[in-house]
Amino acid sequence: MSRRSEIPTTPEGLRKYMRVIDDQDICIGCGACVSVCPTNAWELDENGKARLIWDWCIDDFSCIPVCPVNCIWKTPESPETARPKDNWYRFSRQLTPEEQKVFEEWAKKYGITGKPAQVTQ
Ligand code: SF4
Ligand code: SF4
């Protein structure tokens, strides 16, 4: 069922979620996460790998058990090796300066040093 109406649109809303991260080096591009996400927060990128739309994840975690190669984790449970990787996530839109701060707090809290993909929609 779609839960797109729950996608946060304010800094306070964005601050509520821990989100998930994936390792694109393990992902086999099966699309199971894309199919199951209630907010459409997963897409397959130009290399056929799962990419998270960061601001659309609402922590229901239904993507984790469906991944056949176990390469999606709750952010705090993700392996150290995945956290510095680039391009596994992007933003749905230009974040406001306040929202950008929320993102930076999130990245710092979980040690996410990988950079978002730059995608023009
Ligand atoms: S935890 Fe996974 S399935 Fe749930 S909203 Fe986030 S990306 Fe989508
Ligand atoms: S379910 Fe796992 S293997 Fe399949 S596309 Fe998503 S992250 Fe990749």
What domains sit in the chain, N to C, each tagged with a CATH number?
4-110 (3.30.70.20)
Question: Alpha-carbon distance 25 to 105, whole Å?
Answer: 26
Question: Alpha-carbon distance 15 to 27, whole Å?
Answer: 27
pTM for this predicted structure: 0.96
Give the closest residue (by CA) to ligand 1 atom 1: 61
Question: Alpha-carbon distance 90 to 15, whole Å?
Answer: 17
Q: Is 30 in the pocket of ligand 2 (CB under 6 A)?
A: yes
Q: Are strands 72-74 and 20-22 parallel, antiparallel or unpaired?
A: antiparallel
Q: Which regions in the chain score pLDDT beneath 50? A: none
Predicted local distance difference test score (pLDDT) of residue 119 = 80
Using CB distances shorter than 6 Å, the residues near ligand 1 are: 20, 36-37, 39, 41-42, 52, 57-63
Of 2, 57, 63, whose CA–CA distance to 32 is shortest?
63
Predicted local distance difference test score (pLDDT) of residue 121 = 56
Q: Is 37 in the pocket of ligand 2 (CB under 6 A)?
A: no
**Tokens coding 34:** 């894309």
Strand partners, 90: 53
Of 60, 42, 44, whose CA–CA distance to 52 is shortest?
42
Q: Is 32 in the pocket of ligand 2 (CB under 6 A)?
A: yes
pLDDT tens digits for 74-99? 999 999 999 999 999 999 999 999 99
Give the closest residue (by CA) to ligand 2 atom 2: 67
